[in-house]
Amino acid sequence: MLDSLREGLQGALAKLIRSNVVDEAAIKEFVRDLQRSLIQGDVNVKMALEVTERVQRRALSEKPAGGVTRKDQMVSILYEELSRLLGGEGGLQPEKTKTSVLVMLGVQGSGKTTTTAKLARLFTKKGFRVGVVAADTFRPGAVTQLRTLCEPSGVEVYSDDREKDSVKIAKDGRKHFEGSKNLIIVDTAGRHKEEAGLLAEMKDIVQGVKPDYNILVIDGTIGQQCYNQAQAFHQASPVGGIIVTKLDGAAKGGGALAASAATGAKIFYIGTGERIDDLEEFVPTRFVGRLLGMGDLKSLLDMVQQAEVQVDEKAVQRMMSGKLTMNDLLAQFDQMKKFGSLKKVVEHIPGMAGQVNSQELDKAEGRFGVYKSIIQSMTVKERAEPDTINASRIKRIARGSGRSEKDVRELLSRYKQMKSLVKTSKGREFRQMMRRMGGQ
Ligand code: GDP
Ligand code: MG
């Protein structure tokens, strides 16, 4: 889901991460890329401009905290601003000790009936006594659809075939369930020849039923229109929460951001399929994490912090002067372990996820174990001066470590590569690399 937006955002981040320095020009370019990907991902233009303006202002004025690189800081700012747009944490939390009433609002086809059944099942599982009111008097078969969807979960449905006034049914249904249920969900029609009529009917139902939550159900595939639709509903009767449906398909996902921003209401759930269990609680930070291609920011930053160690200046100087030892390599491998699996690290780096072959990572990680055992079979002198390792020593080390001579040669050539890398890299870059790896 959300492929277009995700690709755009990840591309913009990847470009930023690849850049050598994060200066004003790089920030501005990033902000332009960001704007483009938000708009292409169906985010309302006005909103996209607002978000990117905030990102730019913060990026240019805030100094990164100690130990945080400029790039990490940029990722954090973007992450925070997108999450903020989505209305922060906290979902739908009715209490079992009183009766809560939800009214499902939204245009026809947005997924109200399906979502009503999904919610009824979810809250039944959570131990609520749920009653559903079928207040769609427009669509023939609407009651049957609702009953069919609710039956497998054992949820009771209130309907009245003879009554044509949906407001009356909604009120009667509420009365019917009050006392025996602690969660009442009213499914409405949302079908009307013109929008004004639809909004007026919504208003009547809301005034008649006086629900605890006005839930706007919005189709995530309608893109930019989400913004205007959400705003129109919100003006007619204030929206208390949003459910965005159909985010399983080709939806660009910007609609979710738009609906939330237009109403200031939180998104409670997202619909991710036609099946009854395809309803996910909406957690803004998780959603943004997914968009940006990382698990979530907090776990990434935690991990970086955990592995963050003081750079040993003396060791850096020694290595920079070309005296890289096998013990230094060993320390590097151990530090990699501290990060957890390489794959996990890569998955957490924005823009990297999906770009690196996970089989190769597994292989690389497997090699660390091999190299480590080889280094452990070396003498103190061999570790300090690997260049003295000749063919007969290779043979001995291979035998001692139970590895092949080829493995030993491979390690030695890795060592040489690393050594020349150290020599050619600029001091600042090298320190940064060490710090990132947590090495010394
Ligand atoms: P209503 O007119 O607002 O009550 O909408 P319905 O609940 O009848 O849903 C309209 C169509 O959208 C139906 O075919 C549903 O199966 C489908 N639908 C609803 N939610 C989702 C969803 O999250 N994902 C997908 N793929 N389809 C959905
Ligand atoms: Mg319906």
**Any ligand 1 atom below 6 A from CB of 220:** no
Angstrom distance (rounded) from CA 371 to CA 418? 14
From 110, 147, 202, 274, give the residue whose CB has the most ligand 1 atoms within 8 Å, as the site to mutate: 274
- Phi/psi zone of residue 22: left (φ > 0), alpha (ψ -120 to 50 degrees), beta? beta
Ligand 1 midpoint to CA 220 (Å)? 11
Q: Please work out whether the CB of residue 191 comes within 6 Å of at least one atom of ligand 1.
A: no
Tokens in use for 241?
Answer: 């929460």
Question: Which residue is associated with the tokens 């009953």?
Answer: 147
Q: 114 CB under 6 A from ligand 1?
A: yes
Query: H/E element holding 104?
Result: strand 100-105
Rounded to the nearest angstrom, the distance between the alpha carbon of 107 and the centre of ligand 1 is 11
Strands 267-271, 156-158: pairing kind: unpaired
The answer, yes or no, to whether any atom of ligand 1 lies below 6 A from the CB of 249, is: yes
CA distances from 135 to 103, 104, 395 (A): 10, 10, 83
SS3 of 178, please? strand
Give the relative orientation of helices 166-177 and 195-209 as an angle to the nearest 10 degrees.
Answer: 30
Residue nearest to atom 12 of ligand 1 (CA): 111
CA distance 147 to 140: 13
| Per-position b or e across 170-190, b if 16+ CB within 10 A of its CB | bbbbbebbeeebbbbbbbbbb
Bridge partners (DSSP) of residue 132 are 157, 185
Nearest-CA residue for ligand 1 atom 27 is: 274
- Quick one: how far is CA 362 from the chain centroid? 24
CA of 139 to the centre of ligand 1 (A): 14
The strand pairing partners of 424, in sequence order, are none
Q: Which atom of ligand 1 is nearest to the CA of 139?
A: 2
Ligand 1 atom nearest to CA at 270: 23
How far does the centroid of ligand 2 lie from the alpha carbon of residue 188, in Å? 7
For atom 6 of ligand 1, the residue with the nearest CA is 111
Q: Which ligand is nearest to the CA of 107?
A: 1
- Evaluate: CB of 110 within 6 angstroms of ligand 1: yes
Is the shortest distance between the CB of 277 and ligand 1 below 6 Å? no
Residue 274, ligand 1, Cβ within 6 A = yes
Pairwise CA distance, residues 32 & 376, whole Å = 51
Tell me the best of 114, 119, 276, 278 to mutate to test the pocket of ligand 1, counting ligand atoms within 8 Å of each CB and taking the most.
114
Closest atom of ligand 1 relative to the 136 alpha carbon: 4
Per-residue pLDDT of the chain (440 residues; tens, 9 = 90+): 456 777 888 888 878 877 778 899 999 999 999 999 888 877 778 888 988 999 999 999 988 776 677 877 888 888 888 888 776 666 788 999 999 999 999 988 999 999 999 999 999 999 999 999 999 888 878 899 999 999 999 999 999 989 989 999 999 999 999 999 999 999 998 776 667 788 888 889 999 999 999 999 999 888 777 888 888 888 888 888 999 999 876 555 667 777 777 777 888 998 989 999 999 888 887 778 777 766 555 555 554 444 444 445 666 667 667 677 888 777 766 666 555 555 555 554 444 455 555 666 666 677 778 888 999 999 999 998 999 999 999 999 999 999 999 999 999 988 887 777 666 665 555 555 555 444 33
| Integer angstrom CA distances of residue 261 from 26, 51, 76, 319, 393 | 28, 11, 20, 52, 68
Q: Would you say 61 and 27 are in contact if contact means Cβ atoms under 8 Å apart?
A: no
Residue 312 near ligand 1, beta carbon < 6 Å: no
Give the whole-angstrom CA distance, residue 338 versus residue 321: 27
Centre of ligand 2 from the C-alpha of residue 40, in Å: 30
Task: Map out the domains of the chain with their CATH numbers.
Answer: 3-85 (1.20.120.140), 100-292 (3.40.50.300), 299-436 (1.10.260.30)
Cβ of 273 below 6 Å from ligand 1: yes
For residue 111, the CA-to-ligand 1 centroid distance in Å is 4
C-alpha of residue 55 to centroid of ligand 2, in Å:
40
